[in-house]
């Protein structure tokens, strides 16, 4: 989905044939399941809402934030591979914003691997655990879909700047500066992972203050 982001590293439309033909990295992950290697930098200015109103660029407001850092105890009973800190973060971020998954108009999700998007959608309650694949199969994450996601190509097709990849695109979309790739932006869920899914952070951003 990086085709409409001029800074994306992968801009050629990808077909299923290209995907399946890409070499294995760690089976079951193909090369095209894995994020890019990028050089770059992203800066975000955080300010009070009052000050932000006086600045040149349109402000994007933080309606909620949440974190979840379950760690991996490497013990029986842990579902580290299939449940992430997003499950914990979801409760905080949605309750702070007074919103739920069905209110989100677009998603900017940390997508170090394709699988990460699916497990994140499940943990935020967009669909049931294990249903991520069928949930996205109709293309709802694409441009014009019911849940446009990673509109700038994300880390898979855009550029890999860690959690700054989803955050930078969330700010661009929140300002309404997405150009051809602009999607409805009332409520943007933006997530980041770290430490092999041991750490998770979430923001709900919006062009509106509440």
Q: Which residues bind another protein (CB under 8 A)?
A: 23-29, 71, 73-78, 81
Nearest-10 crossing angle of helices 86-97, 114-123: 50
Query: Which C-beta is closer to another protein: that of 78 or that of 95?
Result: 78
For the question of residue 110 being annotated catalytic, the response is yes
Task: Provide the minimum distance between the beta carbon of 98 and another protein in the complex, in angstroms, as a whole number.
Answer: 35
Nearer residue to another protein within complex by CB, 58 or 71: 71
Whether the Cβ atoms of residue 125 and residue 107 lie closer than 8 Å to each other: no
The answer to whether residue 160 is catalytic is yes
- Beta carbon nearer to another protein, 17 or 27: 27
In 3D space, the residue among 95, 152, 150 whose CA is nearest the CA of residue 124 turns out to be 95
Which of 124, 160, 187, 199 is labelled catalytic? 160
Smallest gap from residue 122 Cβ to another protein (A): 17
Indicate the length of the chain as a whole number. Answer: 210
Please state the three-class secondary structure of 138-192 as a single string: CCCCCCCCCCCECCCCHHHHHCCECEHHHHHHHHHHHCCCCHHHCCCCCCEEEEE
Paired residues of 200 in beta bridges: 68, 193
**How do 188-194 and 106-108 pair as beta strands?**
parallel
Q: Least distance in Å: CB of 198 to another protein? A: 12
Query: Which of the residues 110, 159, 187, 199 is marked catalytic?
Result: 110
- The DSSP H or E segment spanning 121 is helix 114-123
- Residue number, 20 or 75, with CB nearest to another protein: 75
Q: How far is the CB of 23 from another protein (least distance, A)?
A: 7
Q: Catalytic residue positions?
A: 110, 160
């Amino acid at each position: 989905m990086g085709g409409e982001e001029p800074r994306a590293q992968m801009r050629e439309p990808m077909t299923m044939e290209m995907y399946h033909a890409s070499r294995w990295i760690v089976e079951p992950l193909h090369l095209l399941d894995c994020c890019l290697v990028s050089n770059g930098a992203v800066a975000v200015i955080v300010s009070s809402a009052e000050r932000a109103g006086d600045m040149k660029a349109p402000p994007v407001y933080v309606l909620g934030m949440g974190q979840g850092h379950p760690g991996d105890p490497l013990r029986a009973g842990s579902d580290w591979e299939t449940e992430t800190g997003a499950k914990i973060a979801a409760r905080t971020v949605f309750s702070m914003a007074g919103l739920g998954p069905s209110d989100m108009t677009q998603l900017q999700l940390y997508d170090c691997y394709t699988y990460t998007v699916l497990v994140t959608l499940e943990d935020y309650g967009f669909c049931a655990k294990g249903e991520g694949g069928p949930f996205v199969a109709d293309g709802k994450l694409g441009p014009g879909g019911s849940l446009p996601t990673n509109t700038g190509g994300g880390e898979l097709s855009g550029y890999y700047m860690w959690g700054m990849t989803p955050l930078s695109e969330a700010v661009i979309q929140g300002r309404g500066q997405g150009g051809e790739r602009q999607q409805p932006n009332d409520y943007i869920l933006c997530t980041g992972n770290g430490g092999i899914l041991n750490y998770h952070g979430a923001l709900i951003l919006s062009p509106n203050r509440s």
